[in-house]
Amino acid sequence: MINAIDKTLASLIKRNISGYLPVLMALIVIWVYFGISEPAFLSSRNLYYLLMQSSVVGILAIGITLILLLGEIDLSIAAVAGVAASILGVLSTNYDFSPLTSCLVALIAGGVLSCLMGLVTSLFGVPSFIATLAGLMGFQGLMMKILGSNGTINVRDPFIRGITTSTLSDNHAIILSIFIILIYGFLLYFDHNKRIKYGLNINPLKLILSKFSFFSLSILSVAIALNSYRGVPFLVVIIFFLTVFIAWFTKSTAFGLYIYAIGGNAKSARHVGIPVIFVTICTFTITGLIAAIAGIIGVSRYASVSYNTFVGGPLLLETIGAAVIGGTSLFGGHGSVWHALLGALVIGSLGNGLDLTGASAADKLIVSGSILLVAVSIDSFARRFKK
Amino acid sequence: MSKKHSENDKHKPHLLANSITKSFGAVQALKHMDFEVNKGEVMGLVGDNGAGKSTLLRILTGVEKPDSGEVSIDGNETKISSPQDAVNAGISVVYQSLALCENLSASENVFLGKEILYTYGANFYPNILKPLNKYLMEAETKRSLENLKVDSIKYLNQKINGLSGGQRQCLAIARAIHSNSDILLLDEPTSALGLSQTEQVLSLIKKLRTADRAIVIISHHLSHLYEVCDRITVMKAGQNVGVFSLHHTSEEEIIRAITIGEVVINK
């Protein structure tokens, strides 16, 4: 009897965290390894820089997760971010647009470019790999044209810089954390109550409590750790709420359900009357908006726009890597934006740790590739055993 | 061929396909095919591979359009030119592939395409952006599975990729009848199942038989059909070669009709 209860509990826990497990394990292994070999890695100062460094990849990973859930791919995502960044840089620096207007134009540009990719993919039936590869090349060219002969624009606008340089005061950070924890607790309670009210099977209290304590502990410890250096960056708050919103959107609205359904079985999605083309185009557009946000964050962080930071470097591959390390399937239908964010942290931690230990660029590439391979192998093993 | 069904000529069949013809290039898949099923009846549809069963199914569900002939429901001619038309006409189908989404939960699969949404009294934004009422969907799914006495699917809010073939078949059937359709077409519902799972599905089909529902089962397994059907329509080379009442017909006679059946039109 007790055995049976334990078994259900175990299977419940497995089902609840199995998605997080590979990426969390990878993260823990990396942190323990670098924590031992380079104690500065676990300092609050380094945590601050780690989060900052992972921000652009993290936001892009959220965006590409939506596309991967559909069963498509977007190779143009980093280039879209680059175009949005260039537009922001040029408008705010060379043309004296107000920073807010420039950001708005950059957002619209990102949405329009990716919408175009969605149109070509779903209306003309061009495989998204090819359509967005063409987009990647075209948008790179567009970015060069916008940036002009210099290739680099320095952005000194205090508002734009402030997005990534400002931090919350210590008290505000703690109050916000407690507020978020209370809301999370309320949502768990609400969910539990509703399930009882509708006569559905409920999760054991132990599981709910452990979920809640894990969440609150993580939030509070990050807030306290960051407070002991410069404070919680405003950027972290932005990314947190962006992820909350996109996660809610994909998991709890009809639109989000359609994204998963199309990625899981496009044919039957069409059969039950889901507007597949419309959903695909809209999802690409949303991803374009998210890419533009990443572009704006990038401009703010580097105080400049240059070709190399967005499309010349490894940004696109790191983005796809982050989503896949987070357990999002390249074949569609499986994954979540929270996992993608954790995947971005894995990539960021790796780069950061290797930098601290003085590894060469060559070492960094080799290790990153290996980690990607290991993470994906763990994931596909886990999937095979679940079946 | 004396047991041909002729006793209820005055009775109007619920679903009637009249003289359906369909060609694919030079191949004539259906030649003046007649088919009928009454309310409260389970009708089997058998025939060798290539006899035209699937083509008939695809015409009844609006996936294909017939070259000639018409479909009528309760005596009214009904145009079925798209899957949506079929749904509107009260026809729902469970394909052999089941058409479930592996990565969604049981309740999401049942409600896919007709979700229950929170409206919050606001109608200025489109339905597609409204939040799902997951609790109500799950409770409804639970209730309809309970009505069907399917108790083996426990976690309705978990992905269905852990379910067995029989459980999936039951879920697909639950989804099909959930759309309040009164004509249910089942394509090979037992073909991929083991013994106990077959029993599970057949007993579910027996429970589905109600006075106001017409059920059509396509199958190669005559013994399964004998367990649940009232009548069997035999097809050969795109034609109806006989409708047999199972109470008066032996399995041998049906097999003979499938293999060497000649067309005797006596409608």
Final residue before a domain boundary, out of A232, A251, A266: A232
Domain region containing A202: 167-232
* Same domain assignment for residues A150 and A173: no
**Structural domains in chain A (count):** 2
- Residue B175 has which token pair? 């989804």
Counted residue by residue, chain A has a size of 387
- The pLDDT, as a whole number, for residue A220 is 92
Q: How far apart are CA A69 and CA A332, in angstroms?
A: 4
> Interface pTM (ipTM) of the complex?
0.83
Do B103 and B167 belong together in one domain? yes
Query: Left, alpha or beta for B155 (phi > 0: left; psi -120 to 50: alpha)?
Result: beta
> Which chain A residues are Cβ-neighbours of B104 within 8 angstroms?
257, 260-261, 264
Of A214, A232, A250, the position where a domain reaches its end is A232
Q: Is B118 on the interface with A (CB under 8 A)?
A: no
> Which of B102, B130, B136 is facing A264, going by the closest CB pair?
B102
Flag whether A137 is in a domain.
Answer: yes
Best A7, A271, A282 member to test B by mutation, with max B CBs in 10 Å, is A271
Find chain B residues with C-beta within 8 A of A274's C-beta.
112-113
Q: What is the DSSP string of A177-198?
A: HHHHHHHHHHHHHHHHHHHHHT
The sign of the CA dihedral A254, A257, A263, A269 is negative
Task: Based on the fold, state whether residues A129 and A258 are members of the same structural domain.
Answer: yes
pTM of the predicted structure, to 2 decimals: 0.86
**Nearest chain A residue (CA) to B109:** A261
- Distance CA(A219)–CA(B244), nearest Å, equals 70
Is A172 in the same domain as A293?
no
Beta-carbon separation of B115 and A254 below 8 A:
yes
Are A218 and A224 in contact, with CB atoms under 8 Å apart? no
Sorted by sequence, the CB contacts under 8 Å of residue A133 that are 6+ apart come out as A75, A76
**Cross-chain Cβ contact A272/B113 below 8 Å:** yes
Do both B11 and B84 map to the same domain? yes
Residue of A253, A333, A334 lying closest to B131 (CB–CB):
A253
Q: Is residue A24 part of a domain?
A: no
Same domain, A161 and A216: no
Domain boundaries, position B175 = 98-180
Q: Which of A196, A215, A232 is the last residue of a domain?
A: A232
Mark out chain A residues that contact chain B at CB-CB < 8 A: 15, 194-195, 197-201, 252-255, 257-258, 260-261, 263-265, 267-269, 271-275, 279, 333-334, 386-387
Model pLDDT for residues B228-257, shown as the tens digit of each residue: 899 999 988 888 888 888 888 888 888 888
Tally: H helices and E strands in chain A: 17, 2
Nearest CA of chain A to the CA of B15: how many Å?
22
Put simply, the answer to whether A260 touches B103 (Cβ < 8 Å) is yes
Residue in A with minimal Cα distance to B161:
A387
Q: Which residue of B has its CA nearest to A276?
A: B113
Asked whether residue A105 falls in the same domain as residue A71, the answer is yes
Q: How far apart are CA B37 and CA B233, in angstroms?
A: 10
| Predicted local confidence at residue B154, as pLDDT | 79
Nearest-Cα distance to chain B for A387, in Å, is 6
Tell me which chain A residue has its CA closest to the CA of residue B131.
A253
Nearest partner of A251 among A122, A45, A25, A65, judged by Cα: A65
Both A302 and A370 in a single domain? yes
CATH number assigned to the domain comprising residue A127: 1.10.3470
On whether residue B265 sits in a domain, the answer given is: yes
B147-192 per-position pLDDT tens digit: 877 777 878 888 888 888 888 888 888 888 877 788 999 988 888 7
pLDDT at position A383 is: 63
Q: What averages of pLDDT result for each successive group of 10 residues across chain A (387 residues)?
A: 56 63 83 89 90 94 96 94 94 89 95 96 92 95 88 88 89 93 94 91 86 91 90 93 95 93 89 88 97 95 88 86 87 89 91 86 82 72 61
CATH of the domain at B30: 3.40.50.300
Residue closest to A146 by CA, chosen among A79, A99, A60: A79
Task: Establish if B195 belongs to a structural domain.
Answer: no
User: Of chain B residues 136-175, which have a CB less than 8 A from chain A?
Assistant: 136, 138-139, 142, 154-158, 161-162
Number of Cβ pairs closer than 8 Å across A and B? 87
Which residues on A lie below 8 Å from B134 (Cβ)? 252
Q: Helix count (H) and strand count (E) of chain B?
A: 8, 10
Contact B139 A263 (CB under 8 A): no
pLDDT of residue B254: 83
- Rounded to a whole number, what is the distance in Å from the CA of A253 to chain B's nearest CA? 4
- The answer on pLDDT for B8 being more than 60 is no
